[in-house]
Structure 1
């Protein structure tokens, strides 16, 4: 059994997936329905039946072949938060996004920088962007300051990512639906390792379903986090 983490277990970035109940905005309710219609935002579904797996460590960059790779990336004013990669593959982008969401470094990044870095991943299309579900992953200012006192940081590893079964079925039922918003549902699994002052450390499994927008001839961007994992 991993050691219990000092400040993040059951809170913020350290929540287990079952504990994360984030606001989902405009349409993920249908995505999460037990029914086969995984509709995002507009009530439309996303596309593709392919799946892929890879491993990545956070903070991460993305290699030219579209797979997450080891290596720190920082954006201006965002501390150690990784920059969004330039890629058009929803599954690979979701893997990189999960690594970003499960990673932080209070030694070099303020809470404001963490939020700013995460916001850079959000789609610029206001009709679909669900910033609340992303921002909810960051601990409140009091907890963040306690984490800073402990020099706490986290790295993440992605093990697998795939399109949920309900999403693929919805696409099969209505292949043209994707062309309205080009929003894809991707479930990512992996683990998060948290380290703090005095040699303390612990690891926990992580799993999340992300809504990713990948319009043709545009880089992918995050839309939302689902409040529960979709298999």
Structure 2
């Protein structure tokens, strides 16, 4: 059966407000300054970076020992609840899967947004909800996707700290202790399906700003402009 023409979710380019940009730029050192490029790039592979400041790297989103992820509430539809993680790489992987997954058959646009917002840091000085919200299609497109029964799942192939972030951290490791915001670049694949057996898949990559304060669960800060891998 041939593919049916249908709307597709595409990640929108995030435009940060000046205040949010300044705060996040300061928090992640030279992440978005030294060698930064606003052009999107496709991560094709490579080893994972090791977490700075003693934080271990992770091969996947594993819950912190002794804790369990909260149960998803009906108000957020099928959106996965945030995992309770202390490793920025693991949280970045989990957050990317959440961002690339949706089910318009069982989740309204408002529920999708509510579920995504649950992953955000509560520190308003740093959080940039606009960059995350921009990943969700407008109400009209979401309605058309619902009519097509469109839904997507995602897998992650790797996650690492961008070279600009690691270099900046090596030059000034103490600067991380103000906000504990890490840059995490994640690569993976999104599989999209719709009614009558249609479907397809595409490679995805995103650079996330993730906050992981000591003795606290990680939280999502923003979708960051991409940097050199």
TM-score (norm. length: structure 2): 0.79
Contact 2:191 2:201 in 1 (8 A): yes
Q: Please, what is the CA RMSD of the aligned residues?
A: 2.6
1:202-221 matched pairs, under 5 angstroms: 202-221=200-219
Asked whether the equivalents of residues 75 and 81 of structure 1 are also in contact (C-alpha less than 8 Å), the reply is: no
Equivalent pair of 2:104/2:146 in contact (CA under 8 Å): yes
Give the drift of 1:92. Answer: 0.1
Note the 1:61-100 alignment, pairs <5 A: 62-63=62-63, 74-100=72-98
Q: Are 1:54 and 2:59 counterparts?
A: yes
| Aligned residue number for residue 42 of structure 2 | none
Distance 1:35 1:152 in 2: 38
**Which segments of structure 1 move beyond 6 Å, counting only runs of 4 or more?**
none
Corresponding residue number in structure 1 for 2:31: 31
Name 1:134's counterpart in structure 2. 132
Aligned to 1:184: 182
Please report how far the alpha carbon of residue 21 of structure 1 lies from its aligned counterpart in structure 2 after TM superposition.
1.3
- Specify which of 167, 170, 179 is matched with residue 168 of structure 2: 170
CA contact (8 A) 1:75 1:82 kept: no
Q: Distance in 2 between matches of 1:4 and 1:134?
A: 29
Counterpart-to-counterpart distance in 1, 2:201 and 2:183:
26
1:43 counterpart residue number: none
CA contact (8 A) 1:122 1:222 kept: yes
In structure 1, distance between residues paired with 2:52 and 2:122: 20
Corresponding residue to 1:21 among 9, 13, 28: 13
Q: Deviations over 1:21-77 (max 9, x none)?
A: 1123334565333438xxxxxxxxx94487746367xxxxx54569xxxxxx73341
Cα distance in 1 for residues equivalent to 2:212 and 2:60: 21
Q: Report the alpha carbon displacement of residue 227 of structure 1 after superposing the two structures with TM.
A: 3.2
Where structure 2 has 5 or more consecutive residues not aligned to the other structure, the ranges are 37-50
CA offset at residue 226 of structure 1? 1.4
| Aligned-partner Cα distance in 2 for 1:31–1:140 | 30
Cα separation, 2, equivalents of 1:212 and 1:5: 36
Q: Structure 1: 5+ residue runs without aligned partners? A: 37-45, 57-61, 67-72
Distance, in Å, in 1 between the alignment partners of 2:54 and 2:183 is: 11
Q: Distance in 2 between matches of 1:164 and 1:83?
A: 26
The residue correspondences of 1:135-150 to structure 2 (distance < 5 A) are: 135-150=133-148
Distance 1:6 1:54, change over 3 A: farther
Structure 1 SS opposite 2:209? strand
Q: Name the CA distance, whole Å, in 1 between partners of 2:119 and 2:10.
A: 20
Residues 197 and 210 of structure 1, relative CA distance in 2, 3 Å threshold:
same
How does the TM-score come out when normalised to structure 1?
0.79
